[in-house]
Amino acid sequence: MKLFSKTVLFVFILSLSSCYTRYSTNLLQERKNLPQYTQANFEDYRLQVNDELVIRVITTNESLKYMFPFMAKGQNASSYKVFEDGTVDFPYLSRVPLAGKTIKEAELTVRDRLREFADDVEVKLGLKTQSYCVIGEAGRGYFPIYKERLTIFQALAIAGGINEGALLSKVKIIRTTNNGTIIKTFDIRTKSIIESEFYYIQPNDIIYLDVSKKKFWASSNFVQFMGLITSSITLFVLVLTIK
């Protein structure tokens, strides 16, 4: 019977240690033992190969307006792809190098080229599709970036929120840049994440939340597992008692 009592005590202690606490799940904590991230300047997205752009030309020059067919009434905007060499082939312009530039920088580049036709030209560029992806222990799928500075908290909320079993201490953002793919790993529980390099989402980001080791021990699988062990020990003790 001592063996049975010790087993029950062990199960009870283990169940307590495996429970989620506010320290393991709460966001925006200010505890000293959490990582402290420094603030970083916001980095504008830089155009990459295969990005698709839409362009709007503003000018009083009627002839120039119709150089871009989608400016005519009743037509949808066309998109222009960034080719492998980093250029974009706009109508009546030779290849314009835009890869590696921010949207604002690209607008100025295209504007300067179009001012060869009219002095009052203004250009507005935008990405045709701006989205990010979420996988792992959170809502899954592709979601639109509806504003310029979308935070990690807003991105996860749009995706459906964070699952209880997520490992919040090692959230990952997989980001493709013109210099290759980088992975940013951070603890989303700390308040110091605000305005840090991990705070804002960029187009094409992949947000990955791994599963916490506590998920199994706090799940029904663990309860069933320990129930089986307890039943087996009970049967074993009963057999010994009968003998």
Q: Residue 75: its pLDDT value, please?
A: 46
**pLDDT tens track for 156-169:** 999 999 998 899 99
Q: Within this chain, do residues 111 and 186 fall inside the same structural domain, yes or no?
A: no
CB distance 93 to 114 below 8 Å: yes
pLDDT under 50: residue ranges of the chain = 8, 11-16, 71-75, 219-220
Judge whether 46 and 177 are in contact, CB under 8 Å.
Answer: yes
Residues 56 and 164 in one domain: no
Q: How far apart are the first and last CA of the chain?
A: 14
Question: 155 and 37 share a domain?
Answer: yes
DSSP string, 113-161: HHTTT-TT-EEEEEES--EEEEEESB--EEEE--SSSEEHHHHHHHTT-
- Write out the two tokens for 59: 């000018």
Q: How far apart are CA 49 and CA 100, in angstroms?
A: 9
* Sign of the torsion formed by the C-alpha atoms of 154, 157, 159 and 165: positive
Give the model's pLDDT for residue 204: 95
Which residue range is the domain that position 144 belongs to? 20-44+130-216
- Choose the final residue of a domain: 70, 99, 127: 127
Please give the tally of structural domains in the chain: 3
The tens digit of pLDDT for each residue in 125-157 reads 999 989 999 999 998 899 999 998 999 999 999
Query: Residue 105: what pLDDT?
Result: 98
